[in-house]
Structure 1
Amino acid sequence: MRYFEDIELGEKASFGHYEVTRDEVIAFASLYDPQPFHLDDEAAAKTFFGRLSASGWHSCAMTMRMIVDNMGDKKQASLGSPGVDELRWLKPVYPGDTLRCETEIVEKTPSRSRPEMGSFKSKITVFNQDDEPVMTLKTIGLIRTRPAE
């Protein structure tokens, strides 16, 4: 089990391989972000995007999937997250793109009021297949401290 004490400031990881499909872009947008440039080729061609593009919220969801898949069998004493800071969509994500993530632990703080937990911030950069950053965000994770033996 990975606890607060096991997280190292400056720790980095590179992972993920998510292939963005046209059907998924349209399905996500149909449910959660039904703007024309996420749903229709002709409408998208007339916009800044130039063609059908994924919703930024879909990019976030695909990133979360890569993060969870990266955990695999590595159990973490996670307590969830109170939120995300500094979310930026830098470039459009298009059907046919392949996404990957790089993360770095940039802050680690023990709780002052709850000694059984701490928090950490990770800077996440999502890249496309051309190694172009398409999204950045800072996540805040809550995690248990190692139980006393």
Structure 2
Amino acid sequence: MLYWEDMQVGKKRSFGRYEVTREEVLEFARKYDPQPFHLDDDAAAQTHFGRLAASGWHTCAMTMAMTVAEMSVVPQASLGAAGIDELRWLKPVYPGDVLRVETEVLEVTPSRSRPEMGSFKNQTTTFNQHDEPVLRFTGLVLMRRRPAA
């Protein structure tokens, strides 16, 4: 189990594999981001995307799915997140892309008011199969501290 004390500035992790399917791109867009370039090939062809592209919010959701899957492999004393900063969609994600995630711890801070927990900032970057970054954000994660022995 990873606890707050295990988070060290500069610590990097690489994980995940997510195959983006056309059906999932369309399903997500219909429910949550029904813009034409996420739903229609002809409409998408008329944009800078050039073809059907996944919603950026869908890319965030796929990144979260890989993160949670990694937490089942490497359990963490996570208490959720306090938020994200500087979210950037760097490159379109298309059906057929295969995504993966890299994280780096940027800052580690003990809680002033809750001694049983702390937080850490990390930069999360999602890459496609060409190792091109497609998404980047800075997250503030809350985590339990290691229990006293």
Q: For residue 57 of structure 1, what is the aligned residue in structure 2? A: 57
Unaligned stretches of 5+ residues in structure 1? none
Q: Which amino acid aligns with 1:145?
A: R
State how far apart, in whole Å, the 2-side matches of 1:62 and 1:88 are: 15
State how far apart, in whole Å, the 2-side matches of 1:145 and 1:14 are: 23
Q: Which amino acid aligns with 2:60?
A: C
Q: For residue 124 of structure 1, what is the aligned residue in structure 2? A: 124
The alignment partner of 2:81 has SS state of coil
State how far apart, in whole Å, the 1-side matches of 2:65 and 2:139 are: 14
What's the TM-score, normalizing by structure 1? Answer: 0.96
Identity in percent: 67
Q: Which amino acid aligns with 1:32?
A: Y
What's the TM-score, normalizing by structure 2? Answer: 0.96
The alignment partner of 2:54 has SS state of coil
Shift of 1:72: 2.1
Q: Which amino acid aligns with 2:44?
A: A
Q: Which amino acid aligns with 1:134?
A: V
The alignment partner of 2:134 has SS state of strand
Counterparts of 1:28-39 in structure 2, within 5 Å, are 28-39=28-39
Shift of 1:128: 0.6
CA RMSD of aligned residues (A): 0.9
Counterparts of 1:1-149 in structure 2, within 5 Å, are 1-149=1-149
Shift of 1:99: 0.6
- The ranges of structure 1 where at least 4 consecutive aligned residues each deviate by more than 6 angstroms after the TM superposition are none
The alignment partner of 1:112 has SS state of coil
State how far apart, in whole Å, the 1-side matches of 2:130 and 2:73 are: 29
The alignment partner of 2:28 has SS state of helix
Shift of 1:75: 2.2
Unaligned stretches of 5+ residues in structure 2? none
Q: Which amino acid aligns with 1:58?
A: H
- Report the number of matched residues: 149
Cα-to-partner distance string for 1:72-106 (whole Å, 9 max, x where unaligned): 24321111111111100011000011111111001
The alignment partner of 1:81 has SS state of strand
